């Protein structure tokens, strides 16, 4: 009964309710602006709210978190620029839908399934936190390495036309992730004597350049095109369509909760794995994936929002952050004299239930705000290309500079934009390169840790894989993905390799 009172408090307290709504609105706009990440917003809020009472600070931060993860999908669909890393997979089918004049339907779908996915993640947080946290704690560095390898194998699904070109782009991304200080020895690698590369190549400027600037250059190359008139009569998905895709939403949400509960991962990895799962399991998609399939929006948006609830699970039950934002929230709890861990839910249950309530309020608020202002967002797509593309470049420059107030990041972003233009010109997808930059450090760091645990003995490393259930299951999944890719290669060879020469915009 006491827990129910804590749960209802944010619904009944006008101050907490207002702060959650304001945080959601602010988070949506932060997430929609390339370069302004949810992590940045949450870190600023810590210094801004440290004098507040804990409940008010949590309400605002939870709203920003939920709204920010979703907000990245808006620009991903409208202008092919993911506002947040969690929206990278949404680009693949969301933007083609906007090019078909269905941006309203795409955003409506993304919003609806984000609500469903978010609620599923919150339900697991509320009722299954102790169980899932114990399971997540069993993952060793070896398992994170295998999980990273699984992510790299997603490159085949992201190539949209040429498997080899997708693998090449992803491999280059992994190699670029190794620039800078060696994470184990501290030695410089591939910096060519310049101090600007000592910190490595951040994937956020690279992502903005590869998706945003390269898209603007590619569009300008094609000449001035008339703006695409968007259909706004079917914004809210019909009940029949939602029911049809419920199995995909549930499956993707479960993937999101699982990935989110793994310390150090996040919505971006969850969305990519869910997208790949949808490509492999949906037998009759509305359109081919990569050409405007509704399922290509539903899967990643369900997963990245469900990952929010998953990320809170290890933070609240074990004191281990699930991602960067929950790491910042841990700092907020410490500032207010609380220590996240097994005793948190026993000694201060109100903190747990207030977080659950604020996340639910934020998820519902998100739907109301988006669907009530959607026509304003859609006007962006109807701006003439000769005006929109320079605005995208300017927004990319401002967003990149805001990350660290660094012109070096801007130059890096522009360089990746030019690289992305030529990649699109010759049929190389830019998504795999971003994925390689994100997963490269995960793979390298955890492989080296797992090899040290095996005393640098490859046979002992392989033996550990077969002797641990989690590692064994992940290895079987990797083998399945490799076998399925071999099947793809065979089918391409039978067709005479025509798809290897195709060109596309990635």
Q: What is the pLDDT along the chain (506 residues), one digit of tens a residue?
A: 667 788 888 898 899 999 999 999 888 877 776 656 677 677 667 667 777 888 888 899 889 888 888 888 888 888 777 777 778 888 888 889 888 888 888 888 888 999 999 999 999 888 877 676 667 667 788 888 887 787 777 665 554 556 677 778 888 888 998 888 887 777 888 888 788 788 888 877 887 788 778 877 877 775 555 555 555 556 677 778 888 889 999 999 999 998 888 766 677 788 888 988 888 888 888 888 888 889 999 999 999 899 998 888 877 876 666 677 777 777 777 777 777 766 677 777 888 889 899 999 999 998 888 877 776 666 665 566 677 678 778 877 887 887 678 888 889 989 999 998 898 888 887 877 877 887 788 788 888 888 888 888 888 888 888 888 888 888 888 887 777 665 555 554 554 444 333 334 44
Structural domain includes residue 460:
no
| Domains: count for the chain | 1
Question: Do 117 and 69 touch, CB atoms closer than 8 A?
Answer: no
Structural domain includes residue 480:
no
Torsion of CA 408, 410, 415, 419, to 10 degrees: 140
Length of the chain: 506
- pTM: predicted TM-score of the whole model, two decimal places: 0.70
Structural domain includes residue 493:
no
Place of tokens 């090019």: 99
- pLDDT value of position 301: 92
Q: Under DSSP, is residue 258 helix (H, G, I), strand (E, B) or coil?
A: helix
- pLDDT value of position 119: 93
CA gap 130, 290 in Å, rounded: 38
Structural domain includes residue 412:
yes
Structural domain includes residue 315:
yes
What is the maximum span of the chain, computed from C-alpha positions, in angstroms? 68
Strand 180-181 to 188-189 pairing: antiparallel
Quick count: other Cβ atoms within 10 Å of Cβ 351?
Answer: 20
- pLDDT value of position 44: 66
- pLDDT value of position 162: 65
Backbone conformation region of residue 45, classed left if phi is above 0, alpha if psi is from -120 to 50, else beta: alpha
Taken in order 190, 195, 196, 199, the sign of the CA dihedral is: positive
- Tell which residue, 492, 464, 87, has the closest CA to residue 271: 87
Structural domain includes residue 32:
yes
- pLDDT value of position 504: 41
And the tokens for 153?
């194998």
Structural domain includes residue 411:
yes
Quick count: other Cβ atoms within 10 Å of Cβ 5?
Answer: 11
CA gap 424, 31 in Å, rounded: 25
Structural domain includes residue 435:
yes
Range of the domain at 311: 2-453
- pLDDT value of position 251: 93
Residues 6+ apart with CB under 8 A from 342: 317, 318, 319
And the tokens for 164?
């080899």
């Amino acid at each position: 009964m006491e827990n129910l009172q804590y749960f209802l408090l944010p619904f009944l307290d006008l101050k907490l309710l207002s702060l959650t709504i304001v945080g959601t609105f602010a988070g949506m706009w932060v997430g929609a602006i390339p370069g302004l990440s949810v992590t940045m917003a949450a870190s600023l809020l810590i210094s801004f709210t440290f004098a507040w009472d804990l409940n008010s600070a949590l309400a605002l931060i939870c709203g920003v978190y939920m709204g920010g993860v979703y907000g990245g999908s808006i620009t991903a669909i409208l202008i092919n620029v993911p506002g947040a890393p969690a929206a990278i997979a949404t680009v693949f089918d969301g933007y083609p839908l906007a090019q078909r004049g269905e941006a309203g339907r795409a955003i409506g779908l993304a919003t609806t399934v984000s609500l469903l996915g978010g609620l599923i993640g919150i339900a697991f947080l509320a009722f299954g936190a102790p169980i899932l946290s114990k399971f997540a704690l069993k993952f060793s560095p070896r398992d994170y390495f295998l999980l990273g390898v699984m992510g790299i194998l997603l490159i085949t699904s992201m190539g949209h036309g040429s498997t080899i070109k997708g693998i090449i782009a992803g491999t280059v991304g992994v190699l670029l992730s190794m620039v800078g200080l060696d994470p184990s020895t501290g030695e410089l690698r591939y910096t060519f004597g310049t101090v600007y590369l000592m910190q490595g190549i951040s994937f956020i400027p690279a992502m903005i350049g590869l998706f945003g600037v390269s898209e603007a250059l590619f569009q300008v190359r094609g000449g001035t095109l008339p703006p695409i008139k968007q259909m706004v009569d079917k914004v809210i998905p019909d009940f029949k369509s939602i029911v049809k895709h419920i199995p995909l939403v549930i499956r993707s949400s479960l993937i999101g909760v699982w990935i989110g509960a793994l310390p150090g991962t996040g919505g971006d990895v969850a969305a990519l794995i869910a997208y790949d799962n949808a490509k492999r399991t949906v037998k009759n998609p509305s359109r081919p994936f990569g050409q405007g399939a509704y399922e290509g929006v539903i899967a990643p948006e369900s997963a990245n929002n469900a990952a929010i609830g998953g990320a809170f699970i290890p933070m609240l039950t074990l004191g281990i952050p699930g991602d960067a934002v929950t790491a910042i929230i841990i700092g907020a709890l410490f500032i207010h004299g609380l220590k996240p861990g097994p005793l948190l839910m026993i000694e201060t249950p109100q903190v747990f239930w207030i977080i659950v309530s604020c996340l639910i309020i934020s998820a519902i608020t998100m739907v109301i705000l988006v669907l009530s202002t959607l026509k304003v967002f859609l006007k962006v797509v109807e701006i003439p290309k000769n005006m929109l593309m320079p605005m995208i470049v300017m927004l990319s420059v401002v967003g990149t500079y805001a990350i660290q107030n660094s012109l070096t990041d801007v130059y890096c972003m522009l360089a990746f934009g030019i690289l992305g233009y030529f990649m699109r010109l010759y049929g190389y997808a830019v998504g795999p390169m971003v994925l390689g930059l994100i997963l490269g450090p995960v793979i390298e760091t955890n492989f080296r840790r797992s090899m040290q645990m095996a005393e640098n003995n490859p046979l002992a490393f392989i033996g550990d894989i077969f002797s641990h259930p989690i590692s064994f299951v992940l290895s079987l999944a990797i083998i399945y993905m490799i076998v399925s890719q071999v099947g793809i290669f065979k089918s391409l060879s039978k067709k005479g390799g025509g798809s290897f020469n195709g060109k596309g915009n990635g």
